[in-house]
Amino acid sequence: MAFALRLARGIDALNERIARLAAWLVVAAVAISAGNAISRKAFSLSSNAWLEAQWYLFGAVFLLGASWTLKRNEHVRIDVVSSRLSPRARGWIDVVGHTLFLIPFALVHVITAVPFFLLSWRTGEVSANAGGLPLWPAKILVLVGFSMLLAQGVSELVKKIAVLGGAPPDEAQGGPPVSGFGS
């Protein structure tokens, strides 16, 4: 279990770094959006490429940030139900949910995203819009985003199993041991 927890912490750290960098894409999207609006209104200049760049950045923020959201336990839950359950029951729900739903869902997306991206890359697929961008960058984001989500799902599963097995929650999450627990 110690190796699995070290691996989980590595996944956590990598996903957090990537997501923090991806958060800056919001700034880029806002700058592109403002620049595009100003150039369109002030100079009657516009480009489909600028609009598509905004879409790519918007998609990137969500695809690259989903794993971080899961790590921080900020994903959507039915709090009305889960708040009434014991921490152990919530842990078991997470183990079952990650095992039966999250990990298979992300795995299917990773598997199907590979040919989706490769075909676009090999054919040089470009947007059908005049002046549009190549599509492979958006398609590789699907592959990367779901790969990160799959890895984070495995990390969360390992940590939940560790806690259910008796490891203190802070230790399983990679923080310092709670006084009275651990070494």
Assess contact for 65 and 22: CB atoms under 8 A: yes
Per residue in 101-128, pLDDT (tens digit) is 999 999 999 999 999 999 999 999 999 8
Q: Is residue 33 part of a domain?
A: yes
Per residue in 54-107, pLDDT (tens digit) is 999 999 999 999 999 999 988 777 677 778 888 899 899 999 999 999 999 999
Assess contact for 162 and 174: CB atoms under 8 A: no
Q: Global pTM?
A: 0.85
Which structural domain, as residue segments, surrounds residue 165? 2-75+85-172
Phi, psi of 134 (to 5 degrees): -60, 150
Q: Is residue 182 part of a domain?
A: no
- At position 110, the amino acid (one-letter code) is V
Q: Is residue 101 part of a domain?
A: yes
Q: Is residue 179 part of a domain?
A: no
Q: Is residue 80 part of a domain?
A: no
Q: Is residue 177 part of a domain?
A: no
Q: Is residue 180 part of a domain?
A: no
Q: Please tell me the total count of domains within the chain.
A: 1
